[in-house]
């Protein structure tokens, strides 16, 4: 402490330099937060401490907010510049930094005694009290030298004290010192020698240094608060980022794993703000699996481009959802893909929407089969309760008549009438009895036909199918060969065009086309030379065949009934069971196909058969 005292200007300059240095340290610290891996780890620990203040507020410490090494350097330099001793302690007086410039008296004599050390801590804790007014300057409670202190806080929490002092002026006397040496049990001689080496400084000068210290601790408190806020901010951001990442991961997993197709779009508008199209911005695995369109192909495409349609599909529905923000679900048949879809549309942001689409084609097919089966069952119930009932009533009625006649004959026999009387009666009764028997036979035959028909339908519906790709040219060639004779005999000509192949069962399909051509022969116009044409074309993924004739045609009101069980338009002029078209429809339904008819009375009929298309090379049995 032999150096000359510094002027105020010099001190102020040093303070300025110190503040600059402090700022650069602070900046370095901030940079370290962002870039230094090692500091990042320290920061993580600090962040943890700092961001849990609500649970553990008391745990915030100076070392959590500042690098103690940096503070030590600052403390050493201030101490060196001002010539006063300095230390930073916890609020309870326990040191956080190593003492700078401590006097021999304080560090080697007073603090070496138990009582002296205890008093030092007590005194340190008192002079470091937080005060908004300025530093605390007072005589040390452990020896009476001049001491000053200023508290460091974070928010309203007192976290440390910065203490300076161990200087003397005329207030401290040898007598007081000797008494204190005695009090704490120190060697009086040594105590006084050390006391006399203590640096002397005017109280005003010391107060100025204390003021500088106060300014510095105020800055540190502010910086501590900033650090805390920064740490909290970083932590909140980290948590938000983590939460976002987690939710993004969850969404991505869901997006990829969903069996429904999920496609995300941007709605596009024209200059008048009318929706005109939409662009695909993302699609999931299920979309590729069901449509065969990869994400790479889909993303960035306009809807009509991607689906090959003139207009973007379902633009009205999607625009409505985007504009109203209300989700919408519907079922639709999407012709370009020949699939039935169940689509849910949700708005995902301004002019953005997602479609969640389920392929319900199979479900629709099953529903169709169930519908056909139900209709069949209904018809069977109708036949059983109506068609079978009328011959049964006949049998019952004519049976009663027979019974009546037999009773009459019996009673004559019992009355012992003459043979001629009996003969007379028999002559009268027998023709009626014969007639009744004839009616009964007819009715039972009729019932037999109906029951056989039902049996035939039931058998046909249960026959095992062997689905293969069928060369329809070959199949029709063979089927018409067996009908050729019948056709020629009735003046009909059969013409076969080039036919596309399809997926089906060859035996069942032979039955379908034989029934149809047979009907065309049967219902040909007797006044014309009959022309029966079989043609075919491919429509999307279906093969559509047409069996066309120029026969008698069907009246419009019968068109919807001709596929019904036992439905015949003219029971008297032609022979038939009214079962052929029912079986045709049943077979086609089992083969995922269908049939419809167009006809005009007197002009002819066209039966259109739809079956799944397949190329001949795809002939793998299923």
The residue among 546 and 569 lying less far from ligand ADP, judged by its C-beta, is 569
Least distance to ligand ADP from the beta carbon of 544, Å?
Answer: 18
Six-digit token pair at 466?
A: 């062997």
Residues 534-563 that bind ligand ADP (CB under 6 A): 549, 551-554, 562
Element (H, E) at 424: helix 419-462
Residues 560-589 that bind ligand ADP (CB under 6 A): 562, 567-570, 576-582
The residue among 91 and 580 lying less far from ligand ADP, judged by its C-beta, is 580
Dist. CA 564–CA 561, nearest whole Å: 5
Q: Does 468 bind ligand ADP (CB under 6 A)?
A: no
x/- contact string, 179-208, with ligand ADP (CB under 6 A)? ------------------------------
Least distance to ligand ADP from the beta carbon of 510, Å?
Answer: 16
Least distance to ligand ADP from the beta carbon of 583, Å?
Answer: 8
The residue among 142 and 492 lying less far from ligand ADP, judged by its C-beta, is 492
Q: Do 367 and 342 form a contact (C-beta atoms < 8 A)?
A: no
Least distance to ligand ADP from the beta carbon of 475, Å?
Answer: 20
> Which residue from 39, 519, 543, 586 is in contact with ligand ADP, where contact means CB under 6 A?
519
Q: b/e string for 502-535 if b means 16 or more Cβ within 10 A?
A: bbbbbebbbbbbbbbbbbbbbbbbeeeebbbbbe
Least distance to ligand ADP from the beta carbon of 349, Å?
Answer: 58
Eight-state DSSP code of residue 259: S
Least distance to ligand ADP from the beta carbon of 519, Å?
Answer: 3
The residue among 320 and 460 lying less far from ligand ADP, judged by its C-beta, is 460
The residue among 361 and 510 lying less far from ligand ADP, judged by its C-beta, is 510
Beta strand residue intervals within 106-193, DSSP E: 136-139, 146-154, 157-167
The residue among 300 and 602 lying less far from ligand ADP, judged by its C-beta, is 602
Which of 69, 68, 65, 71 minimizes the C-alpha distance to 230?
65
Residues 58-77 that bind ligand ADP (CB under 6 A): none
Alpha-carbon distances, residue 448 vs 390, 442, 565 (angstroms) = 13, 10, 15
Six-digit token pair at 219?
A: 């800055």
Least distance to ligand ADP from the beta carbon of 452, Å?
Answer: 13
φ and ψ of 522, to 5 deg: -60, -40
Least distance to ligand ADP from the beta carbon of 291, Å?
Answer: 40
The residue among 64 and 548 lying less far from ligand ADP, judged by its C-beta, is 548
The residue among 315 and 449 lying less far from ligand ADP, judged by its C-beta, is 449
The residue among 562 and 588 lying less far from ligand ADP, judged by its C-beta, is 562
Strand order in the sheet with 339-349: 275-283, 261-269, 352-359, 339-349, 328-334
Residues 132-171 that bind ligand ADP (CB under 6 A): none
Number of residues that bind ligand ADP (CB under 6 A): 21
Six-digit token pair at 476?
A: 């029709």
The residue among 256 and 555 lying less far from ligand ADP, judged by its C-beta, is 555
Least distance to ligand ADP from the beta carbon of 542, Å?
Answer: 22
Beta strand residue intervals within 235-362, DSSP E: 261-269, 275-283, 328-334, 339-349, 352-359
DSSP 578-591: S-HHHHHHHHHHHT
The residue among 27 and 574 lying less far from ligand ADP, judged by its C-beta, is 574
Q: b/e string for 305-336 if b means 16 or more Cβ within 10 A?
A: ebbeeeebbbbebbbbbbeeeeebeeeeebee
Residues 6+ apart with CB under 8 A from 314: 332, 343
Q: Do 160 and 62 form a contact (C-beta atoms < 8 A)?
A: yes
Using CA atoms in the order 34, 36, 38, 39, what is the torsion angle rounded to 10 degrees? -40
Q: Does 83 bind ligand ADP (CB under 6 A)?
A: no
Dist. CA 407–CA 421, nearest whole Å: 16
Least distance to ligand ADP from the beta carbon of 523, Å?
Answer: 3
x/- contact string, 589-618, with ligand ADP (CB under 6 A)? ----------------x-------------
The residue among 140 and 565 lying less far from ligand ADP, judged by its C-beta, is 565
Look at the alpha carbons of 97, 98, 104, 106 in this order and tell me if their dihedral is positive or negative. Answer: positive
As a whole number of angstroms, the longest Cα–Cα distance in the chain is 180
Give the residues lining the site for ligand ADP (CB under 6 A): 519-520, 523, 549, 551-554, 562, 567-570, 576-582, 605
């Amino acid at each position: 402490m032999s150096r000359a005292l510094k002027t105020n200007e010099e001190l102020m300059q040093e303070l300025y330099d110190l503040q600059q240095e402090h700022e650069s340290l602070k900046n370095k610290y901030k940079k370290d937060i962002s870039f230094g891996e090692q500091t990042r780890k320290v920061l993580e620990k600090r962040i943890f401490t700092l961001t849990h203040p609500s649970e553990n507020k008391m745990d915030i410490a100076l070392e959590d907010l500042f690098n103690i090494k940096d503070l030590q350097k600052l403390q050493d330099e201030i101490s060196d510049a001002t010539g006063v001793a300095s230390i930073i302690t916890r609020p309870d007086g326990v040191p956080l930094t190593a003492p700078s410039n401590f006097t021999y008296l304080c560090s080697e004599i007073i603090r070496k005694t138990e009582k002296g050390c205890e008093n030092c801590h007590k005194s340190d804790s008192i002079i470091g009290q937080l005060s908004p007014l300025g530093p605390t300057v007072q005589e040390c409670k452990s020896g009476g030298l001049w001491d000053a202190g200023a508290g460091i806080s974070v928010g309203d929490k007192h976290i440390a004290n910065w203490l300076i002092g161990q200087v003397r002026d005329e207030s401290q006397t040898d007598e007081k010192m000797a008494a204190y040496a005695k009090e704490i049990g120190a060697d009086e001689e040594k105590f006084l020698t050390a006391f006399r080496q203590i640096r002397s400084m005017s109280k005003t000068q010391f107060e100025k240094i204390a003021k500088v210290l106060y300014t510095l601790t105020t800055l540190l408190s502010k910086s501590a608060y900033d650090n805390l806020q920064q740490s909290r901010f970083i932590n909140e951001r980290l948590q938000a980022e983590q939460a976002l990442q987690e939710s993004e991961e969850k969404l991505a997993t869901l997006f990829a794993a969903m069996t429904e197709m999920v496609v995300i779009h941007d709605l596009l508008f024209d200059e008048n703000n009318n929706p005109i199209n939409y662009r695909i911005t993302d699609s999931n695995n299920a979309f590729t699996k069901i449509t065969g369109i990869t994400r790479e192909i889909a993303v960035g495409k306009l809807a009509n481009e991607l689906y090959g349609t003139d207009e973007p599909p379902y633009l009205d529905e999607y625009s409505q959802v985007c504009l109203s923000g209300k989700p919408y679900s519907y079922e639709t048949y999407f012709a370009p893909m020949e699939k039935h879809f169940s689509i849910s549309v949700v708005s995902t942001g301004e002019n953005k929407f997602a479609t969640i689409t389920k392929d319900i084609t199979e479900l629709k097919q099953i529903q169709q089969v169930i519908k056909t089966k139900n209709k069949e069952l209904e018809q069977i119930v109708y036949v059983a309760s109506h068609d079978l009932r009328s011959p049964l009533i006949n049998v019952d009625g004519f049976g009663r008549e027979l019974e009546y006649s037999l009773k009459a004959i019996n009673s004559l026999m019992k009355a012992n009438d003459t043979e001629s009387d009996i003969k007379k009666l028999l002559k009268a009764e027998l023709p009626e009895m014969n007639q009744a028997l004839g009616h009964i036979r007819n009715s039972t035959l009729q019932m037999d036909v109906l029951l056989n028909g039902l049996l035939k339908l039931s058998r046909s519906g249960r026959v095992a199918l062997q689905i293969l790709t069928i060369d329809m040219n070959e199949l029709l060639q063979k089927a018409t060969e067996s009908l050729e004779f019948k056709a020629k005999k009735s003046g009909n000509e059969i013409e076969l065009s080039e036919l596309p192949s399809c997926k089906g069962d060859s035996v069942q399909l032979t039955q379908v086309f034989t029934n149809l051509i047979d009907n065309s022969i049967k219902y040909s116009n007797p006044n014309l030379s009959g022309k029966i044409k079989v043609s075919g074309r491919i429509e999307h993924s279906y093969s559509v065949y047409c069996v066309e004739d120029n026969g008698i045609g069907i009246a419009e009101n019968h068109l919807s009934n001709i596929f019904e069980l036992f439905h015949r338009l003219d029971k008297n002029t032609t022979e038939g069971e009214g079962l052929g078209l029912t079986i045709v429809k049943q077979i086609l339904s089992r083969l995922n196909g269908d049939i419809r008819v167009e006809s005009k009375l007197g002009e002819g009929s066209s039966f259109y058969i739809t079956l799944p298309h397949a190329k001949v090379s795809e002939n793998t049995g299923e």
